[in-house]
Chain A
Amino acid sequence: MARLRSSKGGNFLGLLVAACLTGTAFCQNLPLQSPTHPVPSSRTSIKPSSSKEQSTPSSASFVDVAHAAGIDFHLTCGGAEKRYIMESMCGGIAVLDYDNDGWMDIFLVNGSTLEDLQTKKCHPSRLYHNNHDGTFTDVTAKSGLTHCGWGFGVAVGDYDNDGWEDLYINYLDGGVLYHNNHDGTFTDVTAKAGVNNAGRWGTSAAFGDYDNDGYLDLYIANYVDLALKHLPEFGQGPFCQYRSIPVSCGPRGLKGGRDRLYHNNGDGTFTDVSEKLNIDPDSYYGLGVLWLDYDLDGCPDLYVANDSSPSLLYHGDCKGGFTEVGVQAGVAYSADGREQAGMGVDSADYDNDGWPDIIKANFSDDTNNLYHNDHNGEFTDLAGAADFGPVSIPFLGFGLKFLDFDNDGWKDIFVANGHVNPQVDHHSFGVTYAERLLLFHNLRNGKFEEIGMKSGLAITRRYVARGAATADFFNDGREDLLVSVLDGPPLLLRNKTATPGHWLRIKTVGTRSNRDGFGARVEVKAGGLTQMAEVRANSSFESASDPRLHFGLGAATRVDSITIHWPSGKVETLGPQSVDQELVLQEGSGASSNPGPKLPEKALKRP
């Protein structure tokens, strides 16, 4: 029988649709949203593996032992709907050896809820002592770390050079500096020290000695100036939307908090030099802080990841001043010159070319950055070329860390993810609120392979993860991971990777330099490979990691040499060393070479 067909049968609109599909007039009314995700802009050559080894496919293995280890912490951070911006930003964690027993302990910062904050109900942060047997004991009650508030990031550093790690914790309305009393207790010395960051909402903080005077200064990234009595209404207005659905407001549309830099006066007090040094003049939304010396001139530089605004790179001038060079250096924006939602940051020399590179976590629909150091004061985002970027597009990264999980001498990368808007779960955006963790294996040729899905159940599960820190908690020569999870218990991911790789761990003790040796650059030669690392505790997102440097040595059975560039300018070189051990290197105790040209006069006077 003859038939009169409609639309998709083919006669009439079938032709129209076919025309659409082949790109003619009707099609122009049906635009596809362009996947214009960022791509790398420029690069210099990636140094290939010096040993010409091809990286073998790696299977990492991480097991969550938090519960078994006695970590019974639960992170509280607002309500389940996350109606306000601060309810998504908790998660500070610190790894520190607070009692100097040689084993890394854990400090976990707690948040609060709006209601509990008003009624002064406390959600205490917790300090866990490492029992040296794979377990931890909650020693919070004894420690005196009892400040009641809505906590965020934490910084670790020995600000008074007494040989004991102190703590600085950011809260919604200021910060608290705890001095370590050497007996398992801490004393709140904020007022005396003058580092209260009063009324400001700090996120990450980091100790670093920017003027190389031998005392650690303190940088605090402030996020948003928030008035609790006038919180912006959920979903109301253009800055309270994500992909057209109502979500919590900000940070855009809210007033940014100006970061603070506190100079350590060397007498237990600090001076706020933010205005003097023109720190964060536009009050960007600060989230990640990283001290590094990107141009190897011996003077600390500072990189600050800002949310939804340009990130900042302060170049230290060796005279106690800074010049902000983020745009010129190529680390302020995405490769396309767009602001990114920068979260966590870290630095390491991933391609073993002797220069520190930078990684930064960003929002979903964007790629994380892998800023390759071009050795000329500029960086090139090689995230795409390195297979580090595109895979991160559906993920909202917060904490991220370089580590060498398989001890092969090439830095791998871990990224903790978790969205800020639980509302995304009600939509098929291709992003979810809870997200899996990402583990990137360094293939030694400038590229990474994301192997999270074959790294153990704990990695493959989904979490709303925030802070991330690395440490060798069990002193077994493997780098483990500590991850905070919003509204849940943390993950203590013990590294069980089957690896033949040897290792070396180095603890630095400054004498003329700051006692922690933060900012020291250490070069280790072994097995034909030279690795470089800088000493620091604070990086990632709101977190502090094991400050001991960990070098994977692969098959090398001895370390040929170690060279330390101390912040004081002193350079020391040690001869051959055994592998699989921890060395404590005290400034001045090794073979000394050049004293270094750029040591400020003041540093020489320090006892």
Chain B
Amino acid sequence: MNKRHKQVKFILPGFIFYTCFIILPIIYVFYLSFFQWSGLGEMKFNGIQNFVTIFTDERFSPVFFNALWNNIKYLLCVWLIITPFQYLMAYLFFIKIPAYKYLKFMIFMPYVISTTIISFFATLIFNPNIGFLNKFLEAVGLEHLQGAWFGDPNWAFKLMILLILWQGAGSGVMIFYSNFMDISKDVMEASRIDGCTEWQRFTRILVPLSLPSCASVITMSTIWALALFDLPFILGGAKGGVSGSLDFVNLVFYRYTFGSALNGKSEIGFGASICVVMFAVMLIITTIQNKVLKKFEYDN
């Protein structure tokens, strides 16, 4: 091997595997989206017909838009509820509220538990027949408050947000927290000597200095918000819950690709085009979001 290309033998194995199993599939999905193909037999080139079907088919497009709307609703919850919650939590740990070490340990713990098990816990608590919550309400004489919980379209979405808040918030809290800890002690000290109030320190020092990390956390949670699958699938079933209250784009994709919901046969090409649309939405939203977040960034 040429002496000047020593790096090749180190990079090549990783490059091959990574390209084959991570990058190639992304390109392949774009290619597939232009075909009509059931997975067996001949692939028929279909142009943009699949995309036309997604947006105009009178049977499919309401389902799709309902799912997309749920994704957007969830994304808004991430921006307006989950991220502020994480930020606040990180701040509380930063100012060392009593027992903060224990709290930090416990609040991050659900993060290492699988979403399947989180759904299992949710079943224990919210199952309408044997779940703990309904039994508890019965025991204290509040039967009229009993509900079908995940079987109730008014409750399902809200409960899912609570579950995600409980399980998924930990990672963001830790990232915000570690960024607070990175802020130079001198700055904090100086602010204290200058007589900053706690509120001033929070708004004038912590918030501006931790914005770059916020940007990356928000970008990642946006991507994951649009790719949400596990919890609604396990708790609401592949059909997306009662009257589509837990239906998300990814569930639609799964149903139509592997579950043969369009014409009674599996539609690989059609499924791929749903993926492409989802990917495009993701790109558009993260691009806009980064533009907006850049505006708030300080030069430091």
A, B co-complexed: no
